[in-house]
Structure 1
């Protein structure tokens, strides 16, 4: 099992930066990480400390996790319609892409996770050179 992990503040600027750091992973892995991180920004609050984790399991699956302290803000799978706004579709998108997803609670934190088929090339994922979401 190989894990890539990054602690950062959830900001709109951090979303594309994390996606860039994961550029050697499959598109669906990057998309899931982006959607889960965006959900923290939108529903828990900008500047929330989070951990983004991508784990390639021995069974050939990739698990994407975002952990935050917002235990009162629960993810809700909405069924978007043509009449609804563009927002609120993130979990529906994840639901369509992944094998399974869920939420785990532990010591005042929640982790929203999803699991995809396929294995990413973990040895080629770039490590961050500066704190993500910080101003340089």
Structure 2
């Protein structure tokens, strides 16, 4: 995979999730399921926990010599921090960060004034 930078500024709405997956796939020149999954889950978390229509910035970078890809989603909800949960078989939600945690090397949150960035790194 060649070095790549992808950035999109948009509103966090449900129709943006599949559009972002397709844009990331197109940017990398083919399927990148783990990257697409992380983008989907992070944007879906903004919709659910910050609010539909929140302005976001999605960035994907890396994939060069070290092979590490970093996915970042910045939103205006500094108090809506992600919490890793483990859903039971009967839970209808709560698996997003567990999936991200399973495929990512590491993930975290950076905060500043009136924003936060949730990021993850993939091999």
- Residues 121-136 of structure 1: matches in 2 within 5 Å? none
Whole-angstrom CA distance in 2 between matches of 1:86 and 1:116? 26
Whole-angstrom CA distance in 1 between matches of 2:96 and 2:114? 24
1:33-90 CA-partner distances (Å, limit 9, x unpaired)? 000000000000000000000011542100001000100111010011223x221110
Residue from 109, 113, 120 that aligns with 1:114: 120
TM-score, normalised relative to structure 1: 0.80
Match in the other structure for 1:11: 13
Determine helix, strand or coil for the equivalent of 1:22: helix
Q: Which runs of 5+ in 1 are unaligned?
A: 118-136
TM-score, normalised relative to structure 2: 0.89
Match in the other structure for 1:75: 82
Q: Which runs of 5+ in 2 are unaligned?
A: none
State the 1:25 CA deviation.
5.0
Residue from 96, 99, 108 that aligns with 1:102: 108
Whole-angstrom CA distance in 2 between matches of 1:74 and 1:105? 9
RMSD, aligned α-carbons = 1.3
**Structure with more helix by fraction:** 2
State the 1:107 CA deviation.
3.2
> How many equivalent residue pairs?
116
1:1-44 CA-partner distances (Å, limit 9, x unpaired)? 53210000000010000011112351100010000000000000
1:72-124 CA-partner distances (Å, limit 9, x unpaired)? 111010011223x221110000011110000001232100000000xxxxxxx
1:32 and 2:32 equivalent?
Answer: no
Determine helix, strand or coil for the equivalent of 2:55: strand
Match in the other structure for 1:2: 4
Which one scores higher on RCO, CA 8 angstroms, separation ≥ 6? 1
